[in-house]
Amino acid sequence: MSEEIENSPQPPEAEPALDQVAATVIRAKREVAKVATQQRLGQDGRRGPLRYGERVQITDTKKRMSTFVLEEGGYFQSVRGNLHHSEIVGLNEGSVIETASGHELMIMRPLLADYVLSMPRGAQVVYPKDSGNIVAMADIFPGARVLEAGVGSGALTMSLLSAVGEEGKLISIERREDFARIAAANVDAWFGCHHRAWQLHSGDFAQVVADLVEDASIDRVVLDMLAPWENVEQSARALAPGGVFCAYVATVTQMSRTVEALRGTQSFSEPLAWETMSRGWHVDGLAVRPDHRMVGHTGFLVLARRLATGSKPLSRRQTGRGGAYDESGYWVADDVDERTSTDRKVRKVLRDCLVKQPDDATEVNVQATSTRGALTDQVAQTLGLDAVQRPAFKE
């Protein structure tokens, strides 16, 4: 009897509803499109028709710019007119379209300089005029091994990654974990996925370098921190002979102390120090004049080359009476606050950034010497971060 029941024909399984099948197919297509989009974005995807998932920049006739990501069902609103994102997808970069209100809008992919000025930030960024100087003067070449400290919001990091390429290596160190996570989200958003040449650590520079970096294994060191002179010795150990040390500082006293620290090690060539000012010009036929506004002082750059082991720097030829030195009057880091936003704003920026991260987001390697910043355990749990596995923070 039991065999008859087992061998009896079974009723056919009910076929899934057509709407369920369609929904499954749509979800599968979206997942495939998402992966393909991440592969196309970044260095290999900045040409061809505009696609969903790409960041675009719209400029009106008054040179006002708006930057956003193309999304299915998305809608752009402005005082010059409104657009559905579907009207932009498929257009070639550089297209000029007319809104229903009769205004013209130009559509481009944003340049890195545009993205840096519009991206979410927690710490002050290195502006394009300075990051361009750093890449050029420090000779950041394809395939270089670069050590960066003071990631901030990731502005300089993107320029360094673009210069070293996928065959190079960039080790970035940020003392504050909240800033490190904001920088990771910004960099991933620009390249479309994790850049395989990038390692991001949160912790004390000297400790991380001592643990991870071998002697004479780094081609370039770039520091953007309050007291770079405290890490000159560790930088000298990591740099290969002929390597470049470059520091970005905001004040004259920081610049002075960094230069003297480089001289004091007897391991570097005579340092160079300078600042860059940028002024645009108005050109309209024969009416040519400088703009009324300019980008003045943002920071100083200090650059020196690593000498071979056992070599001494060239003797300095001093003219006049020389400089005055007063160790007791030196500026110290505790006297000046960091140029950062409030903790409340940092938490908001961090929350917004984490929501937009790709699936293969950059991992932040948190060291025991990291400081939490605005990222308390309660905030970490709210953002979905594992607070248990993070090491004890140093306040």
Residues 94 and 52: their CA atoms lie apart, in Å, by 17
Q: Which residues pair with 272 in a beta bridge?
A: 303
Q: Note the pLDDT of residue 230.
A: 95
Spatial CA neighbour of 231 closest among 246, 243, 250: 246
Q: How many CB atoms lie within 10 A of CB 130?
A: 23
Is 391 part of any domain?
Answer: no
Percentage of residues in the chain having pLDDT higher than 90 = 52
Q: Considering 61, 94, 110, which residue would you say is the last residue of a domain? A: 110
The 10s digit of each residue's pLDDT in 103-154 is 899 999 999 999 998 888 888 889 999 999 999 999 999 999 999 999 999 9
Is 21 part of any domain?
Answer: no
Reported pTM = 0.79
Given a contact cutoff of 8 angstroms between Cβ atoms, the answer to whether 192 and 38 are in contact is yes
3-state secondary structure of 9: coil
Are 186 and 66 in the same domain? no
Q: Considering 54, 77, 110, which residue would you say is the last residue of a domain? A: 110
pLDDT tops 60 at residue 284:
yes
Is 394 part of any domain?
Answer: no
Are 160 and 304 in the same domain? yes
CATH code of the domain in which 66 resides:
3.10.330.20
Is 361 part of any domain?
Answer: no
Q: What beta strand segments (E) does 217-373 contain?
A: 218-223, 239-249, 272-275, 278-284, 287-295, 300-305, 364-366
Given a contact cutoff of 8 angstroms between Cβ atoms, the answer to whether 267 and 241 are in contact is no
Domain that includes residue 76, residue range: 39-110
3-state secondary structure of 228: helix
CA 376 vs. chain centroid, Å, equals 23
Q: Between 124 and 236, name the one with better pLDDT.
A: 236
- Strands across the sheet with 218-223, in order? 272-275, 300-305, 239-249, 218-223, 145-149, 169-174, 198-202, 364-366
- Segment 184-207 shows an average pLDDT of 91
Are 85 and 178 in the same domain? no
Could you give the count of Cα atoms lying within 13 Å of 4 in the half-sphere of its Cβ?
1
pLDDT tops 60 at residue 369:
yes
Residues 152 and 49: their CA atoms lie apart, in Å, by 33
Helical ranges in the chain per DSSP H: 2-7, 18-40, 85-88, 112-118, 128-137, 155-164, 177-191, 205-212, 232-238, 252-265, 343-355, 377-382
pLDDT tier, 79 (very low <50, low <70, confident <90, very high otherwise):
confident
Are 123 and 67 in the same domain? no
What tokens were used for 291? 């703009």
Are 54 and 123 in the same domain? no
Helix (H), strand (E) at residue 78: strand 75-78
Q: DSSP letter for 270, please.
A: P
CATH code of the domain in which 336 resides:
3.40.50.150
pLDDT tier, 4 (very low <50, low <70, confident <90, very high otherwise):
very low
Burial class, 393, CB count within 10 angstroms (exposed 0-12 / middle 13-18 / buried 19+): middle
Are 173 and 302 in the same domain? yes
Are 277 and 130 in the same domain? yes
Are 106 and 118 in the same domain? no
Q: DSSP letter for 339, please.
A: S
What is the b/e burial string over 244-255, where b = at least 16 CB atoms within 10 angstroms of the residue's CB?
A: bbbbbbbeeebb
pLDDT tier, 352 (very low <50, low <70, confident <90, very high otherwise):
confident
Is 316 part of any domain?
Answer: no
Residues 277 and 129: their CA atoms lie apart, in Å, by 8
Residues 337 and 149: their CA atoms lie apart, in Å, by 18
For the ranges 36-40, 267-271, 358-362, the one whose mean pLDDT is highest: 267-271
Is 178 part of any domain?
Answer: yes
Q: Note the pLDDT of residue 320.
A: 58
Q: In the chain, how many domains are there?
A: 2
pLDDT tier, 14 (very low <50, low <70, confident <90, very high otherwise):
very low
CA angle 189, 191, 194 (to 5 degrees): 85
Residues 151 and 123: their CA atoms lie apart, in Å, by 9
